[in-house]
Amino acid sequence: MVKDRKDVENAEQRIFDAAVGVFLEKGYDGARMQEIAERAGINKALLHYYYRSKERLFKQVFVSLLSGMISNLSNALEGSMSFEEKLYIFSREYIGFLQHNPQMPIFLLNEIRLHPQLLAEAAREMNLPQILKMYRDEIFHALGNKNLDDMQQLHSIVNIISLLVFPVAAQPVIQMIFNIDNDTYSRFLNERKTIVPNAVLQIIE
Amino acid sequence: MVKDRKDVENAEQRIFDAAVGVFLEKGYDGARMQEIAERAGINKALLHYYYRSKERLFKQVFVSLLSGMISNLSNALEGSMSFEEKLYIFSREYIGFLQHNPQMPIFLLNEIRLHPQLLAEAAREMNLPQILKMYRDEIFHALGNKNLDDMQQLHSIVNIISLLVFPVAAQPVIQMIFNIDNDTYSRFLNERKTIVPNAVLQIIE
DNA sequence: GTCTATAACAGGATAGAC
DNA sequence: GTCTATCCTGTTATAGAC
């Protein structure tokens, strides 16, 4: 089980990596087992040998993407900084992550929309509730110092996420409507790494 | 061509209505011509008689949904009210519309993501550029009075749309994470009809 | 473990009767 | 216009050799 040679990645892992790519690009319904096999450089039959069915393979990919996204970001919230500091770091990290994975938000939201039970199942397989509880406690605690009631705290959190995620998720539409080239849009997103926390703090105060 | 009897809607229209429902629920790849035919109460062959192919039927549905959404909302921007007044009305109308069509944002964004050329084609078939130019002029003009440069204006517009759309689009995820029941979430969205314009004005000033 | 071959069926599309 | 029957391809999944 020596794995230090990355260029000789085993078949199971290559299949999984290929599946991540294909499912992300095409969605569950649009993805083809044939294409996953081709990208992994192996035969279709081997997919079923390792993962039994398309559905089971997809669920593993889905959980992996969702939990990867969440655990990546929870790092930004750890430590003993002030709420303001955490907000700036979180905004920078989150937009940075999304810039490297622009397809993920719509992919995840759409698959959840199509298969609502996915979210509950995924939550069971990863320790999602626990991680999210940490998020909530962390954020609510920070916001609690601002004398906001429960509903106001929820508005604040949703405001932050909305301002960070949507501009990346809707990039193609926004670029098309306002006729913006890629470089300009990239600058636009980079600016938001500080503009969003600024705006959020302004709203709360 | 008498059409005053709505209960005797002709086959072509019934097919189209059924197609809207199925495509919205399942997406292009997940939708089945068979199911559209069943919901329309006619046979599969008749789908092809009227619409030739699944792809052509889908394009008409897509354009209809996109242009319906846009033209509905442009009403809110007409008239000679102040920017502040328009902002409040627009926020109320937009969230209200989304509450009745919660599936639409993710459906549209995902189909555009899967088929980037859809947006350009749809723009050609409807008078999208013209409508959007009206939007832009209207909004930029209003924001222009606030002494904002181009990039700041773009941030403002994207902020508004993000704060309005995302909380509806991501409703299932947000409800699950924060353990919120439907009634509470509905109140939450209603509150945002005034909270969002308040916040936006606060950011701009 | 990995392959080839094929089963089994679903789904879009068309032919042709009425 | 509307239907039934059918074609034909693509797709998941499995059987079985190596």
Which of A61, A62, A158 lies closest to A117, judged by CA? Answer: A62
User: Are the beta carbons of A21 and A39 closer than 8 angstroms?
Assistant: yes
Compute the distance between CA of residue A62 and CA of residue A126 in angstroms, rounded to an integer.
Answer: 11
A175-204: pLDDT as tens digits: 988 889 999 999 999 999 999 999 999 999
Query: What Å value separates CA B106 and C1' D5?
Result: 39
Compute the distance between CA of residue B130 and CA of residue A30 in angstroms, rounded to an integer.
Answer: 33
Is the pLDDT score of B69 beyond 50?
Answer: yes
B23-37: pLDDT as tens digits: 999 999 999 999 999
**B191·A155 Cβ contact <8 A:** yes
Compute the distance between CA of residue B199 and CA of residue B160 in angstroms, rounded to an integer.
Answer: 9
| Residues 111-140 in A contacting B (C-alpha not used; CB under 8 Å) | 112-114, 116, 119-120, 123, 132, 135-136
Give A64's pLDDT tier (boundaries 50, 70, 90).
very high
Residue B98 contacts by C-beta under 8 Å, 6 or more apart in sequence?
Answer: B104, B105, B164, B165, B168, B169
**pLDDT (average), residues B4-23:** 85
Compute the distance between CA of residue B110 and CA of residue A111 in angstroms, rounded to an integer.
Answer: 10
Task: Search chain A and give the residue with CA nearest B102.
Answer: A113
Task: Search chain A and give the residue with CA nearest B132.
Answer: A177
Residue A80: CB atoms within 10 Å: 6
Computed over every residue of chain B, the mean pLDDT equals 90
Counts for chain A of helices (H) and strands (E), in that order: 11, 0
Burial of B6 (0-12, 13-18, 19+ CB in 10 A): exposed
Can you give the pLDDT at residue A144? 66
Residue B81 contacts by C-beta under 8 Å, 6 or more apart in sequence?
Answer: B89
**pLDDT (average), residues B191-197:** 98
Measured from the CB, is B45 under 7 Å from any atom of strand D? yes
Can you give the pLDDT at residue A4? 47
Using a CB-CB cut-off of 8 Å, the residues of chain B touching A123 are: 176
**All domains in chain B, ordered by first residue:** 1-52 (1.10.10.60), 58-204 (1.10.357)
B169-189: pLDDT as tens digits: 999 999 988 889 999 999 999
pTM (predicted TM-score): 0.94
Can you give the pLDDT at residue A8? 64
Which tokens in the block code for residue A133? Answer: 């509880």
> Is A112 or A7 the better-scoring residue by pLDDT?
A112
**pLDDT (average), residues B39-54:** 98
What is the 3-class SS of chain B, one letter each residue? CCCCCHHHCCHHHHHHHHHHHHHHHHHHHHCCHHHHHHHHCCCHHHHHHHHCCHHHHHHHHHHHHHHHHHHHHHHHHCCCCCHHHHHHHHHHHHHHHHHHCCCHHHHHHHHHHHCCHHHHHHHHHCCHHHHHHHHHHHHHHHHHCCCCCHHHHHHHHHHHHHHHHHHHHCHHHHHHHHCCCHHHHHHHHHHHHHHHHHHHHHHHC
**pLDDT (average), residues B56-65:** 97
Task: Search chain B and give the residue with CA nearest A22.
Answer: B114
Is the pLDDT score of A2 beyond 70?
Answer: no
Task: Search chain A and give the residue with CA nearest B174.
Answer: A158
Compute the distance between CA of residue A79 and CA of residue A10 in angstroms, rounded to an integer.
Answer: 37
What percent helix, strand, coil does chain A show, rounded to 5? 80, 0, 20
Give B77's pLDDT tier (boundaries 50, 70, 90).
confident
Is the pLDDT score of B93 beyond 90?
Answer: yes
Which tokens in the block code for residue A184? Answer: 């300009």
Question: In this prediction, what percent of chain A has a pLDDT beyond 90?
Answer: 68
Using a CB-CB cut-off of 8 Å, the residues of chain A touching B114 are: 26-27, 30
Query: What Å value separates CA A87 and C1' C12?
Result: 51
Query: What Å value separates CA A52 and C1' C15?
Result: 40
Compute the distance between CA of residue A188 and CA of residue B4 in angstroms, rounded to an integer.
Answer: 51
Lowest mean pLDDT among A45-59, A95-109, A133-147, B49-63: A133-147
What is the 3-class SS of A102-149, one letter each residue? CCHHHHHHHHHHHCCHHHHHHHHHCCHHHHHHHHHHHHHHHHHCCCCC
Query: What Å value separates CA B45 and C1' C14?
Result: 9
User: Are the beta carbons of B1 and B40 closer than 8 angstroms?
Assistant: no
> Is B70 or A183 the better-scoring residue by pLDDT?
A183
Using a CB-CB cut-off of 8 Å, the residues of chain B touching A195 are: 155
Compute the distance between CA of residue A154 and CA of residue B8 in angstroms, rounded to an integer.
Answer: 47
Can you give the pLDDT at residue B16? 98
Compute the distance between CA of residue B195 and CA of residue B140 in angstroms, rounded to an integer.
Answer: 22
Which nt has its C1' nearest the CA of A46?
A: C2
A117-168: pLDDT as tens digits: 999 889 888 877 777 777 777 776 777 677 888 899 899 999 999 999 999 9
Residue written as token pair 């601002």? A146
The C-alpha of A48 sits at a distance from chain B's nearest C-alpha, in angstroms, of 22
- Using the Cβ of A202 and the Cβ atoms of chain B, whether some distance falls under 8 Å is answered with yes
Which 161-200 residues of chain A approach strand C with CB closer than 7 Å?
A: none
Which of B113, B48, B104, B35 lies closest to B72, judged by CA? Answer: B104
Distances in Å between the alpha carbon of B39 and those of B5, B11, B15? 20, 11, 8
Return the H-helix or E-strand segment holding A13. helix A11-30
Is the pLDDT score of B124 beyond 90?
Answer: no
Question: In this prediction, what percent of chain B has a pLDDT beyond 70?
Answer: 95
Which tokens in the block code for residue B115? Answer: 């088929």
Which tokens in the block code for residue B148? Answer: 């904002």
